[in-house]
Amino acid sequence: MLTSLPAKTVQASRISIAQLMQPEHANNLGDVHGGWIMKMVDEAGALACMRHAQRRVVTVAIDSMVFRNPIKTSDLVILNAEVTYAGHTSMEAQVEVQAENPITGERTQTNTAYLVYVALDDAGLPTAVPALVAETEEEKRKLEDARERQKRRLAERK
Ligand SMILES: CC(C)(COP(=O)(O)OP(=O)(O)OC[C@H]1O[C@@H](n2cnc3c(N)ncnc32)[C@H](O)[C@@H]1OP(=O)(O)O)[C@@H](O)C(=O)NCCC(=O)NCCS
């Protein structure tokens, strides 16, 4: 089914959020809980998809996440999210997580996550989203990669 909604660029979905990590986000050794990072990742991905769809969205799938570097209390966590794929009612968001020491300015990439959301209408049913316009070579490559990931997810669902 084709949507009559005007297509939107990747750029229009891009968001960046940052939060200072506090002791309540971490264990006794000052390492931030993976679950807290996952919550922020889910929120950032949802916001990018809400921007794209201009609808409320729900998370339907989260790919596996690997944490490459620890995030400590007093680090600033920065999440950069964008829509990498739009289907009929579903969208994939890529969320990059960085940790910054606000005193030294040192930044480390801790992980990149891929999540799928579905846009819902006012009755809570899946609803069409705008097509995604990949403008740059990098966005086009990401779109191709995202299509492959989505194919894999749907094959696994069966
Ligand atoms: C999201 C939800 C409404 C989809 O309902 P559904 O009956 O599976 O709907 P459909 O089968 O039509 O799928 C809707 C879209 O999601 C995609 N989708 C469904 N399952 C998927 C999966 N495991 N991985 C990736 N995409 C998936 C479909 O391909 C379809 O995309 P398209 O319209 O772009 O082709 C329903 O599964 C749901 O309510 N899940 C719970 C969501 C939730 O509570 N999340 C946590 C809190 S936000």
Instruction: Name, in order, each residue with C-beta under 8 angstroms of 55's C-beta and a sequence gap of 6 or more.
Output: 119, 120, 121, 127, 129
Q: pLDDT tens digit string along 25-82?
A: 999 999 999 999 999 999 999 999 999 999 999 999 999 999 989 999 999 999 999 9
Q: pLDDT tens digit string along 90-141?
A: 999 999 999 999 999 999 999 999 999 999 999 999 999 999 999 999 999 9
Q: Which of 81, 80, 18, 87 is nearest to 53 (CA)?
A: 87
Does the beta carbon of 87 lie inside 6 Å of ligand 1?
yes
Nearest CA to ligand 1 atom 7: 126
Note the pTM of the prediction, 2 decimals: 0.96
